[in-house]
Amino acid sequence: MENKKRKSRLKRPTIGDWIIVVVMLVLIATCIFPVLNVVATSFSSPSAIMRQQVTLFPKIESVNDEGETEFPVGMRMEAYGDMINNSRFMRSLAWTALLTLISTVISLTMTVLCAYPLTYDKLKGRKIITLLIIFTMYFQAGLIPNYVLFFNLKILNTPLVLILPGMISVFLMIIMRKFFLGIPDSLKESAEIDGASPIKILVRIYLPLSTPALATLGLMYAVGRWNGFTDSLMFITDAAASKWHPIQHLLYNILQGTQGVETNLDPGSANLAHTRSVEAAAIVMAMVPILCVYPWLQKYFVHGVTLGAVKG
C-alpha cells in the first residue's frame, strides 16, 4: 500500500515538461553538432572534404591501383600529425596552458582577498567600497583608455597585458563574497575567541569550506582565459611579440588566412582540403585540454549544489 501511495504521489510528466525536454534537446543538438562536424572533418580524407560529404561522421576514402574509390576502416591521423609537428602551434598550446594556470591562480587569490574583508561588518566604509567595486562592473573606461593605460604602464606586447587586466572579475568576487557570508558566524567567532587572526581564520576555516566555490570560480576563470584572444589581438600587435599569442589568437590567424598551415601535400585543391582538415584538427586539439578539466571538477559542482540544501 505504501509503495502505491508513493507512486501516486509522483508527479506525472505534463505537456509543459515534454516541451521543455524537446527545447533542451534542440539546444543540446545545436551545440554538439558543430563540434561533431569539426571532429569529423579533422579525421576525413581531403577528397571527401572537397566534395563536402563530411557531416557528423568521418569519411575516409582512398583510390586503389585500378582507380576505384575505396572506403577503408580506421581513422585518418595525418592532420593531427601535421599539427603535432608544427612547432609554432605546440609552443602556443603550451604557453596558453601555462598562461591559464598562472592567470587562474592569481585571479582566485585576488578574488578571495577582495571578497573576504567585505564579510566583516566592522570594516569601515564597507558599503562604500562595495558600491565602488560594483560600479566598475557596469561602467568601464573602454578600449582606447585601456590602451593608453597599458601603454603608460609599458605592458603592451608583453605577457603582463594578458594577466593583469583580467586578474579579477567583480561578478565572480560577489559570488565568492556571498559564499563566505553563508558560512556560520559561530565558526569565525569561536576562532576569534581562541585568538586566531583574520588571515588564520581565512586559511584554516573559510578556504577549506569553500572548495566547491573555488573550483567553480577557478573553472570560470580558466575557461575565460583559455578562450580569450581579443586582448591579445588588441594589445600584442608587434611581430616580435607574436610568441606570446595564446592558442585562440593563433587559431584566429589560421582561420582568417593571416597565418599559414604547414602541410605535406603539393599545392592544389587536395592541399586546400588537407588544410581544412588540419585547421579542424587544430581546433579539436585546442578544445581537448580545457574539456578534460570538467570531469575532474564535476564532484565539486555536485557538492556545491547540495552544500546549502541541509541546514544543521
Query: Using one digit for the tens of pLDDT, what is the confidence trace for 260-271?
Result: 555 443 334 445
Q: What is the pTM of this model?
A: 0.79
Rounded distance between C-alpha atoms, residue 239 and residue 298, angstroms: 40
Rounded distance between C-alpha atoms, residue 78 and residue 261, angstroms: 13
Say if 242 falls within a structural domain. Answer: yes
Say if 311 falls within a structural domain. Answer: no
Q: Which three cell numbers stand for residue 244?
A: 606570446
Say if residue 229 is in the same domain as residue 118: yes
Say if 115 falls within a structural domain. Answer: yes
Other Cβ atoms closer than 10 A to 160: 15
Rounded distance between C-alpha atoms, residue 258 and residue 222, angstroms: 27
Rounded distance between C-alpha atoms, residue 38 and residue 141, angstroms: 38
Say if 312 falls within a structural domain. Answer: no
Say if 146 falls within a structural domain. Answer: yes
User: What share of the chain has pLDDT > 70, as a percent?
Assistant: 81
The C-alpha torsion from 309 through 218 and 83 to 251, rounded to 10°, is: 100
Please identify, among 60, 76, 92, the residue that sits at the C-terminal boundary of a domain. 76
Number of domains the chain is built from = 2
Predicted pLDDT at 95: 93
Say if residue 125 is in the same domain as residue 249: yes
Say if residue 96 is in the same domain as residue 110: yes
Q: Which three cell numbers stand for residue 28?
A: 543540446
Say if residue 265 is in the same domain as residue 120: yes
* Domain enclosing residue 55, as ranges: 2-76
Question: Kindly report the CA angle at 276 between 275 and 280, in degrees rounded to 5?
Answer: 115
Per-residue pLDDT averaged across 104-131, rounded?
A: 90
In 113-200 the beta strands, taken as DSSP E runs, fall at none
Say if 128 falls within a structural domain. Answer: yes
Say if residue 110 is in the same domain as residue 251: yes
CATH number at residue 279: 1.10.3720.10
Q: What is the pLDDT of residues 207-216, one digit of tens each?
A: 888 888 888 8
186, 185, 189, 180: which is closest to 208 by C-alpha?
180
Say if 236 falls within a structural domain. Answer: yes
Say if 176 falls within a structural domain. Answer: yes
Rounded distance between C-alpha atoms, residue 59 and residue 48, angstroms: 6
Say if residue 130 is in the same domain as residue 35: no
Say if residue 56 is in the same domain as residue 146: no
